[in-house]
Structure 1
Amino acid sequence: MCEHSSVAAIGFGYTTEYMSVSIPSPPTHVRGLIRSVGLLTATSVVIANVIGGGIFTTPGFLARDLGSPTALMGIWVLGAILALAGALSYSELGSTFPEAGGEYVYLREAYGPLAAYVDGWISFFAGFTAPIAAACIGFAAYVSHFAPALGPDYVLTSLDLGGWHWRLSGAQLLGLIALWAVTIIHISGVERGARFQVIVTIGKVLALTALVVLGFLLGTGDWGHFEAGPDGHLPAAALRNLPISLIFVLYCYSGWNAAAYLAGEVREPGRTIPRSLIAGTGVVTVLYMGLNLLFIYGLPLPEMSGVLQIGEKASLALFGHSATHFVSVVMALSILASASAMILAGPRVYYAMASDGVIPKQLAGVHSRYHSPAASILLQTLWTSVLLLTGTFEQLIIYSGFVLVLFSALAVASVIVLRVRRPGLERPFRVPLYPFTPLLYIGFSAWILYFTLRDRPTESLWGIVTALIGIPLYFYWRRRNRVP
């Protein structure tokens, strides 16, 4: 934590004066944000942001499309390698530019403010807000196993306005309550939010570890489920469906860059950012491997094929009905931790944009008491609430996926661009096996973008259109805020 912190002025709870906060640490601060985040919190943010509900749903579709236990495990290993390549690349960027904002900062430094703005616009419009809304609904859906009135199918009230029909379900109400409760925690101080994040993430990791260990020790599975096909070769479908399957896997690994968004609040960012990204990705990989092995151990591949709630079905096969409630608790905790990590990370992007003057400057406000970017956190939660109540987050996730993969690849490419253009930059961490490591990530991202554009052209084009909307907004705010 820092000894002195300069805070910006906006609204209730803010001050226009510079304040001194007595804290027994060296005076280190970035644009009003206190460096109070340590390695454990940063790593927890990565783990929680990555592990959501995808690992409990995706394996069933992969089993259908790949048709082989070997291919199923292999694609998770490939996804881990690509996530690690991205994490190593972001480690160099995060240690070089220890500012709040993550890839927004890297794109700004490598390609200029316009590219960074479009990425930030997508992050706000859908990149963070839509997944947060989906996570809150998912959290409520699993809690509803204990209280059916809080389920997505239980309608509390409805409204007809012309041709538009709106309904409020129990899951939406509970999701909204969870959203605002976690928001208040993160507004009320970085340290308090960090403690909450660490607690829910540790609980999440312990619960998932217990599920895997108990599944192999006490579950009624069968190692024969791992046997290959009759000819010992991979089915032709495995190679044909590899690109689309890899997209699903990489979505499950997405979030490995979460700690980079907090770089402006991380202590010793040159050391902490790389360690948290690499350690977080490593923990996720181990858990993902264990869970997939457990699913195959519990169910033969034909019974896994195409099943959406694969986690529940595998647990039922391993433990019987007695495990249903435990799995629901694990899932609810996992999704809540993921939502919390996104609520924490996203506002740092808007804070950085406001500090650059490309969106309303009020969003760079830091709470005078809690030292959190409260204005940006509130704005994100307000928009997330709209998406949650209207149900539009599902479409936005689909539309924005293509563009988010594109900007992630561009951010990793920033490593190469900046090595060429600005070789004299101080780089506390250098990506190993350069340039192979970033090129590996960029190459597979390009491959995914090609197949996504080919197979889902409408959604991809809508994503591009959404990104292009950000261009006139960028010039408007630059002119309004008189940014040179």
Structure 2
Amino acid sequence: MYALVHADSQSTFYFVVGYVALAAGLWSFVGTIYGVLLMAAIALTYGEMGSRFPETGGSYLYVKYSFGAAAAYLSTWLLAFDQVVMVGYGTIDAARTVLKLLFGATGWGDIPLALLFSGVLFLLTLVGIRESAALGKLVAVMDLTLMFSLIAASLVLRPSPPPFFNWGGVEAANLVFALSLLSRGFTGLDAIGQLAGEAREPLVQVPRATVLLIAIGALGALGLMASIMSVLTPQDLADPAIAPVLLAEKVHPVLYYLVAVNIFSIMLTAALTGYIAFSRLTYILADEGLLPPVFRKLHKRFRTPHISLTIAFATSLLLIYVGEVKIILAIYALGSLINYLLVALALAKASRSGTLHGAFSTPLVAGVPLSAWIAMALIPIGIALTLIEKYPYLWAWGLWIAAGLILYYYRKTAARSHP
């Protein structure tokens, strides 16, 4: 189960770590500690809810339980947009990694190649991939092996003292932006809830996957940032989107090729997960009668939700074609943060009411799990930082929310007309 969540959460940090380092300067490692604490609180919140709701539905089910279907719809619709954005950044990063590996540089050809990757993934999800779980496990094992080898080699060959390492004289260019990225640097944790209903022993597997995700995610994030600050200079981060590849290039030629293949694999897996998760979320909303039935319509031959997949494909093409990574950095994961906040509030409300029971819980403070308290304290900071730093790009979110409201009220009107 951990393998299925790994690509989602790790790919985001791999994508943003270079941008965080350039923006935060000497405070990059300290800021990463904040991001890790937020990640742990969110993962524990989902782990607690998932162990109490061992059924398919994830965050939609949790928010609906405490706040009703309308709030759950908005939360899930926002989360679905992030899955499409994941397809965009995953394919762009995969394309840049290939160009770096083949030609030694990026900056040209990445958009056509990313469009091609997205098209291939769309076709694969359209016809159905039965081996996706096995592929996820293989990629997770490869990623863990190579990235921890890279971290160990970096810190052994270029040791330097924390928390500033070799970046003690590098001033922060935009600390607000860096903290905003760190607030959104571990998205994909909602997959814990989505997969709770598919686990054979959810009361055992969900807590185990949660603890494993936190431990490995924390060590990996802190280790990777420490390695970058020990080995690289800001001038070395010519393309921040592929910072782990640039780090491996400095450490050892063999690691460079292996890590490049690994980053390519993890990014394509994340993009593939984006397609699958988007179709799953919209299918749930349609099945609940909150979206038009067409969203749960299955292909006659392949038995896959081809309408949802086509919408995800078309939206990803638009994001990729624009080609501005800064736009993706601006709009990505704001919906996830809102979703995470609602899940934390749902956990707090259900716990206080005494209607939520399970085998996995952090200590209670005033009847509310500690994980929910930490999440409710830190997530609004991340939302506020993102809104302050990237408000000019919120029009994209406005369009998505408007589309969601139109579909929602269209479905409600149709239901009243044809009871």
Q: Same fold per TM (> 0.5)?
A: yes
Q: 1:130 aligns with which of 78, 81, 85?
A: 85
Q: Does the Cα contact within 8 Å between 2:166 and 2:229 map onto a contact in 1?
A: no
Whole-angstrom CA distance in 1 between matches of 2:90 and 2:165: 36
Gap change, CA 1:342 and 1:476, over 3 Å in 2: same
The aligned residue for residue 25 of structure 2 is 67
Going by fraction, where is helix more abundant, 1 or 2? 2
The Cα offsets for residues 225-275 of structure 1, whole Å up to 9 and x where unpaired, read as 866799xxx99966x955432221232211222121122222222332232
Whole-angstrom CA distance in 1 between matches of 2:30 and 2:162: 16
Whole-angstrom CA distance in 2 between matches of 1:255 and 1:216: 28
Q: Does 1:44 align with 2:3?
A: yes
Q: Does 1:459 align with 2:393?
A: yes
Q: Which amino acid aligns with 1:223?
A: S
Whole-angstrom CA distance in 1 between matches of 2:37 and 2:216: 13
Q: Which amino acid aligns with 1:274?
A: P
Q: 1:95 aligns with which of 51, 59, 78?
A: 51
Whole-angstrom CA distance in 1 between matches of 2:82 and 2:15: 21
Q: 1:479 aligns with which of 389, 392, 413?
A: 413
Whole-angstrom CA distance in 1 between matches of 2:209 and 2:161: 37
Over the matched positions of the two proteins, sequence identity in percent amounts to: 20
RMSD: 3.6
The aligned residue for residue 120 of structure 1 is 76
Post-superposition shift, 1:84? 1.0
Q: Does the Cα contact within 8 Å between 1:89 and 1:415 map onto a contact in 2?
A: yes
SS in 1 for 2:185: helix
Whole-angstrom CA distance in 2 between matches of 1:275 and 1:216: 29
The aligned residue for residue 429 of structure 1 is 360
Q: TM-score, normalised to structure 1's length?
A: 0.73
Whole-angstrom CA distance in 2 between matches of 1:283 and 1:429: 20
Q: Does the Cα contact within 8 Å between 2:75 and 2:338 map onto a contact in 1?
A: no
Q: Does 1:444 align with 2:378?
A: yes
Q: How does 1:162-181 map to 2 (within 5 A)?
A: 169-181=112-124
Aligned length: 409
Q: 1:210 aligns with which of 149, 152, 160?
A: 149
Unaligned runs of 5+ in 1: 1-41, 156-167
SS in 1 for 2:11: coil
Q: Does 1:200 align with 2:139?
A: yes
Gap change, CA 1:54 and 1:267, over 3 Å in 2: same
Unaligned runs of 5+ in 2: none
Instruction: From the CA coordinates, give the structure whose radius of gyration is larger.
Output: 1
Q: Does the Cα contact within 8 Å between 1:256 and 1:277 map onto a contact in 2?
A: no
Whole-angstrom CA distance in 2 between matches of 1:214 and 1:387: 40
Whole-angstrom CA distance in 2 between matches of 1:456 and 1:335: 24
Q: Does the Cα contact within 8 Å between 1:122 and 1:467 map onto a contact in 2?
A: yes
Q: Does the Cα contact within 8 Å between 1:64 and 1:304 map onto a contact in 2?
A: no
Gap change, CA 1:304 and 1:73, over 3 Å in 2: farther
The Cα offsets for residues 94-148 of structure 1, whole Å up to 9 and x where unpaired, read as 2222332321221222211111112232333x21112113212322332234556
Whole-angstrom CA distance in 2 between matches of 1:396 and 1:223: 33
The aligned residue for residue 84 of structure 1 is 40
Q: Does the Cα contact within 8 Å between 2:143 and 2:262 map onto a contact in 1?
A: yes
Post-superposition shift, 1:171? 3.6
Q: Does 1:352 align with 2:284?
A: yes
Post-superposition shift, 1:430? 2.6
The aligned residue for residue 278 of structure 1 is 211
Whole-angstrom CA distance in 1 between matches of 2:164 and 2:33: 18
The Cα offsets for residues 72-104 of structure 1, whole Å up to 9 and x where unpaired, read as 222222211111111111122222223323212
Whole-angstrom CA distance in 2 between matches of 1:306 and 1:225: 24
Q: TM-score, normalised to structure 2's length?
A: 0.83
Whole-angstrom CA distance in 2 between matches of 1:225 and 1:429: 34
Gap change, CA 1:62 and 1:142, over 3 Å in 2: closer
Q: Does the Cα contact within 8 Å between 2:29 and 2:163 map onto a contact in 1?
A: no
Post-superposition shift, 1:363? 4.3
